[in-house]
Amino acid sequence: MSPYPHPIIAREGWPFVAIALAATVVLAWLFGTVGGLVGLAALAFVVQFFRDPPREIPMQPGIVLSPADGRIVSVGRTRDPFLDRDALKISVFMNVFNVHSNRSPVDGEVKNAWYRAGSFVNADLDKASEENERNALHLVTKEGRDVTCVQVAGLIARRILCYVKPGDALARGQRYGFIRFGSRVDVYLPADATPRAAVGDIVYAAESVLAEFR
């Protein structure tokens, strides 16, 4: 999979930007300055939501990077429902003002992928991991460590986009998907992984370190 270029606005947002721009012109024509200002506000929101800036990727061995921008809402030991193993789970909640591109947390090969339909409860809640629509990837590092990365739809998110499949290789920080509007990403790591992030921390995709392998 070739590296994704960074044109400032994510490719997923181009149609929405075009629609917002056209709406701004129509509103300005129909309602003058007030309509134009309303249209510009909507356009600004769309542009900020679909922004996709480049990131400086840490290259230290044995680290796990955040797959998403947002706030850490969960760090703890639990059961990985996809690989049926004890695991360290770290969850990142994305609100509508965060960058919504998803990046690979590790260098690894995609071994499996699962899509599960579900509800659309508030992604800030722990039950969203079990009840909401989600798409999971099983990544295996060259050292043989298993990492499960799960895109979870949120209260108003209705589209999870994933561009990789089993057999694909991902480099840490490489873009692999996108979730439209508020949502979360759960990362399940080997149980002996050491967390480097805490609940409440603000993290950035491909830059912030969530954990490290022992």
> Which residues are catalytically annotated?
183
| Tally of helices (H runs) and strands (E runs) in the chain | 2, 16
Pairing mode, strands 209-212 and 183-190: unpaired
Contacts of 54 (CB under 8 A, 6+ apart): 6
Return the closest-CA partner of residue 94 out of 66, 124, 115, 120.
124
How far is it, in rounded angstroms, from Cα 182 to Cα 73?
14
How far is it, in rounded angstroms, from Cα 67 to Cα 187?
8
